[in-house]
Amino acid sequence: MNMRAWMAGVGLVALTLAGCRGAGEVAQLNLHAVPPVGAAKVQLPADTIVVVAEFEDGRANKQRVGARVHQGGGETVFNVWNGKVGLVVAQVVTDYLKARGWTVDLAKTGTGTAPDGGPHVTISGRVEECTVNAKSAFGSTQLTAASRLIVEAVNAEDGSIVRMTLKGSASQTVVVFEQADAERLFSAALSESLEKFVSETRIEKKILKLK
C-alpha cells in the first residue's frame, strides 16, 4: 500500500469516528444578546426603573435545549451553562434591552414591584420554546434554532400588565461544526424575538405601554 492510499484510509477512519462521537456528552452553551447592527438606541425616560426577573420554564423537556446528531449515529446534548433556562433568558433580555438603550437591570431574588423605591416596571414571563439542534452529514452540518416567549411587563404605577408573545427562528449550514456555531444561532433566534418587544412598546410617565 502506498503512502497516499494509506493517508486516505486514515482520513476516512477519522471522519467515521468523528461522526460517531457524542454518545452521552453534554455541551453547555453560552447565550448572549445580538442587537441589530447599526440600530439607533431607544430614548427612554431616565427616571424610570426597569428590572427583568427570572422567567418561568414552561418547556416540556427541561433537561436539554437540543442536541447535535452526529454522522453515523450518536448525539451530543445541548443545554445552557447552568441548566436554568429561565434565568439565562432573563439575563439575555436584560443585556439586549441595555444594548438597545434601556436603563434596566436583572432583578434580585425577591424583588417586587412597588411605586416607592422599587422598580416601576418588572419584566418577566414564561419560556415556551428555546431550542437549537444540529444534524451532521458528510461534509456539512445543518443547524436550526427557535424561541417562543410569553413576556409580561407589570407596571407599579397603576398595576397594569402588558403581555406579548415573542417568536424567533434561525437556520444555518456549516461545513465544519463548532460549538460556537450553535451558540451564535441560538442567541440570534432569541434576540430576533426581543426586537419586537423593543419596537412595539414605549414608556410614558413611568408606565410601559404598547405603541
DSSP assignment of 125-169: EEEEEEEEEEEEETTEEEEEEEEEEEEEEEETTT--EEEEEEEEE
The predicted pLDDT at position 10 comes to 37
Beta strands per DSSP E along the chain: 25-29, 50-52, 56-57, 66-69, 75-80, 104-106, 121-137, 140-155, 161-174, 201-204, 207-210
The predicted pLDDT at position 43 comes to 84
> Any bridge partners for residue 87, and if so which?
none
pLDDT over threshold 90, residue 107? yes
Q: What mean pLDDT do residues 132-149 have?
A: 97
What pTM was computed for the model? 0.85
- The number of angstroms, rounded, from the C-alpha of 111 to the middle of its chain's C-alpha atoms is 23
> Which residues are CB-contacts of 152 (< 8 A; sequence separation ≥ 6)?
123, 124, 125, 161, 162, 163
1-58: pLDDT as tens digits:
444 443 334 343 344 434 445 566 999 999 999 999 888 888 888 889 999 999 999 9
Q: What mean pLDDT do residues 113-139 have?
A: 88
**Phi/psi class of residue 81: alpha, beta or left (left: φ > 0; alpha: ψ in -120 to 50)?**
alpha
CA–CA separation, 150 and 197 (whole Å): 11
Q: What mean pLDDT do residues 107-135 have?
A: 82
68-101: pLDDT as tens digits:
999 988 999 999 988 999 999 999 999 999 999 9
Rounded to the nearest 10 degrees, how much is the dihedral formed by the CA atoms of 89, 91, 95, 96?
Answer: 10
